Chains A and B, each alone.
Chain A
Amino acid sequence: MRAREPQASFEEFVRARSSSLLRTAFLLTGQNWAEAEDLLQLALERAYRHWPRVCQTGEPERYVRGILVNASVDRWRRLARRPEISLQSAAADPGVPDSAAAVADRDYLIRAIACLPPRQRAVVVLRYFDGLPEAEIAVTLGCSVGSVKTHAARALTRLREQSGSASTAPAARREGSGDE
């Protein structure tokens, strides 16, 4: 029975936290649920292998989140070796485009987050989605609080620039469609 205790604890953790971690993984991978689930499975498998030690830290979620972040950075590096599709063609939502400004802004921001460099994206997701304080993000990423602040500032600058042109970019594309 003793041998099963870690597994029971692990199952309890997965049941309680997997949905939240999956959402984080989705944002880290850039809008791909299949990749997000694979990434989460990988992180949980690694955590399970060392579960007693992970539990000793008292913060298994931080451990798993750290694996998610590092694995997503690694994945990005693999993709960076070949050309990626542009933001417009990466659009995942099928159907007729929604003209509501708020929805368009949300979609544009989500896609813009996916285009951030991996560490900046991780900081944005951990800070504004998971709501973690800068100190905890620094521990997760293995860097200083100052680096977290720098990543966050750079990311926000980029997003602000892209968001600023978002209102004109789609319109320009629509006008340009059908001809170059």
Chain B
Amino acid sequence: MNDLELRLTAAMHEAVDDHHAPADLVDKVLRRNRRRSALTVTLAVAASAVALALVVTVLVLHRPATAPAGGSTRHPHTSKPVRANHGGNAQPAARLRGLPMGAHADVLLLLTGRSTGWFAVARRSLQPIGGLPADNGGYAFTRLAGGWSAQPERPAPQCKDDCAGPPVPAYFVASGAANAMPIASGYAVAAGEKRGEAWLVTYRRRSSDMSTAAATVQEITLSGQPVGSPRTLPAGYQPVRAAGNYLVLGPVNQGPSAVLFKLWDPRTGRVVRTLPDVIAASPDLVAYGKTCGGCLVRVLDLASDRQVSLRLPPMTWGYDGTFSSDSRFLALQLSTSHAAGGAAFRTEVAVIDTTTGQLTVLDGTAQSPDARHQWTFGWQASTHQLVIALQRGGTRFQVASWRPGQASLRIATVSLPRGTYPVLGEGG
């Protein structure tokens, strides 16, 4: 072995050799297997009852959606210093903290895994999504304007490293809808700039190495009709979503240093800008910035080509964010370290108002990066209601909601159907 191989071996052993499997692993596996067997039998018996419940749930859930709160200027015009509203020394907790969620809260979770459906938190009821063929691997969801695309999770492809594998069918599920509609087949679907549009990603061959091959993108309607002609992306890149007249592209392979995204113009096939570490993108804004303590978060307005810089508090950095549907609010993960360049000891959810530059760190969300379960968050469709979910063990989840101006989270603890988990943010 050469020096690198010896260092690799030593590094891996030092990192893991002190860890042991939990003593109750056998019980967990046997329980999981029993649940699966029981589920198969129970499903047949319960089918008629579920159908009846479905009808009732559809009638209850199809009520007008909540209108966005606030609603002043959509685009950032000024640069203001950010402000944190939290106690700087708050210690990470293993759970979300706040006030109880009211009985009439309108939080609706999209669930995936062993089953897919909409889970109404206040009623603790699940409305399954029809039109999605049964798939043991579950479905992966990607946020689109007004809903989600759903694609079955594929088994590991029996081909070379990073290969694309076969195309899989994609479906559109409108927010809260009881049925999915087929779109087309491809490797992935990315959000279009406008409602009703999407970009379908394909590769020339199943064996194409995605890290080096050029993907083809085709703008389509949500019924699968092509809009314009197909385009070839720069090699090794895939679309994150459409923003303005451009596509935000991310590299398939992301190295240890800053990840370079590209703003690509499908009309000319040219890269118009390179952006380090994109935090989030919306139809008209892109937030990006290096993940280093106290660095700037830049928000680029694609319509005016103006950019606003927001300075985060010292020793903190933001990443992995998501815009509200009207682009006014950006929710992101804010990490804090003890020293410049150090590892994070605390992670919180924060929200930036893109019209004022004000940063609000959400009290009750502090968590250690070492926590067994990490929260996920995303905006409820067409509202300014942020939803945060944290698994508490087994099927139990804490679900929190927050709206701008609210001093604390509103929290409910729910038990989700076994083998399911919520999809928030941009998908999963």
Contact = CB atoms under 8 A, between A and B. Distances in A.
Interface in A24-50: 26-27, 31, 33-34, 37, 40-41, 44-45, 48-49
Given A37-B22, A74-B156, A112-B256, A92 B369 contact: yes
B212 to A, nearest CB: 11
Contact of A87 (B10, B11, B188, B256): B256
Interface string B280-323: 00000000011111111000000000000000001001011000
Contacts of A129: 9, 12-13, 16
Contacts of A105: 7, 11
B9 A86 contact: no
Contacts of B293: 177-178
B36 interface: yes
Given A26-B16, A86-B259, A118 B161 contact: yes
Interface string A159-180: 1101101000110011011111
Contacts of A48: 29-30, 33
B342 interface: yes
Interface in B231-245: 238, 240
A126 to B, nearest CB: 11
A96 B339 contact: yes
A162 to B, nearest CB: 6
Contact of B317 (A89, A93, A128): A89
Contacts of B210: 80
Interface centre among B252, B290, B368, B427, by most chain A C-beta atoms within 10 angstroms, is B290
Contacts of B16: 23, 26-27, 129
A85 interface: yes
B32 interface: yes
Contacts of B211: 117
B343 interface: yes
A88 B19 contact: no
B164 to A, nearest CB: 10
Interface in B141-157: 142, 153-157
A177 B340 contact: yes
Contacts, number: 221
A80 B164 CA distance: 11
B156 A73 contact: yes
Interface stretch (A13-21, A54-62, A132-140): A13-21
A149 interface: no
Contacts of A145: none
Contact of B33 (A33, A45, A97, A169): A45
Interface centre among B7, B165, B427, B428, by most chain A C-beta atoms within 10 angstroms, is B7
B341 interface: yes
A156 B344 contact: no
B106 interface: no
A94 B370 contact: yes
A94 B344 contact: yes
Given A176-B292, A177-B293, A156 B5 contact: yes
Contacts of A18: 21, 25
A75 to B, nearest CB: 9
A110 B343 CA distance: 15
Contacts of A14: 21, 25-26, 29
Contact of A40 (B11, B21, B261, B292): B21
A92 B339 CA distance: 15
Contacts of B19: 19, 22-23, 26, 33
Interface in A54-103: 70-71, 73-74, 77-78, 80-89, 91-97
Interface of A: 7, 10-11, 14-15, 18-19, 21-23, 26-27, 31, 33-34, 37, 40-41, 44-45, 48-49, 70-71, 73-74, 77-78, 80-89, 91-97, 105-106, 108-113, 115, 117-120, 124-125, 128-129, 142-143, 147, 151, 154, 156, 159-160, 162-163, 165, 169-170, 173-174, 176-180
**Which 9 pairs show the lowest CB-CB distances between chains A and B?**
A87-B256, A18-B21, A174-B341, A94-B345, A177-B340, A70-B156, A91-B343, A119-B161, A23-B16
Given A110-B15, A119-B161, A162-B256, 12 more contacts: A11-B26, A27-B12, A31-B15, A74-B154, A86-B256, A86-B277, A92-B370, A97-B339, A105-B11, A113-B11, A120-B161, A173-B292
27 contacts: A14-B26, A14-B29, A26-B16, A41-B25, A41-B28, A45-B29, A70-B156, A73-B156, A74-B137, A74-B153, A74-B156, A78-B153, A78-B428, A80-B210, A82-B240, A86-B277, A89-B335, A92-B369, A94-B346, A94-B368, A109-B11, A119-B161, A159-B8, A162-B256, A170-B341, A176-B295, A178-B295
